[in-house]
Amino acid sequence: MHDDQGPVAPDLDTIEGHARDAVEALPAAFLPTARQVAIRVVDWPDDDMLDDLGIDDVYGLTGLYDGIPMTQKSVMDVAQGPDTIWLFRRPILDEWADRGEIGLRALVAHVLVHEMAHHFGWSDADIAAIDPWWE
């Protein structure tokens, strides 16, 4: 992307659009539930998120699942709000720049699928079947 002064980093809406496209690309069996997970895109994780995970480097967290995994939910649970996937624009853009050969859309999809894996309780094999880029 460019403006009159040179390259412009993709904005929050662009990242969110890529994430929503990635949800729609999930296997049909997961779509109804995946569409219920809120997606929030912000520039940075907050300090509490980093502290809870023991992460010192603000660039070390590209996404975070905040909710109760489906494998642990009970009909007796009282909902505290929607399950949410947080995507952190600046760390994602930093990883995108570092990798160089990976498109931004593919990287956002990769992060989103990894966070959806926490929601659904997917194994590494499950993730690899959905995201061939899985490492």
From the CA atom positions of the chain, what is the Rg in Å?
15
Condensed to tens digits (0 to 9), the pLDDT of residues 35-85 reads 999 999 999 999 999 999 999 999 999 999 998 777 766 666 666 778 999
Full set of structural domains in the chain with CATH: 2-69+92-130 (3.30.2010)
Q: Where are the alpha helices (DSSP H) in the chain?
A: 12-24, 31-34, 47-53, 89-99, 104-120, 124-130
Q: How far apart are CA 99 and CA 76, in angstroms?
A: 44
Condensed to tens digits (0 to 9), the pLDDT of residues 28-41 reads 999 999 999 999 99
Pairing assessment for the beta strands 38-42 and 84-88 based on DSSP bridges:
parallel
Closest to 44 in 3D by CA, of 68, 62, 67: 62
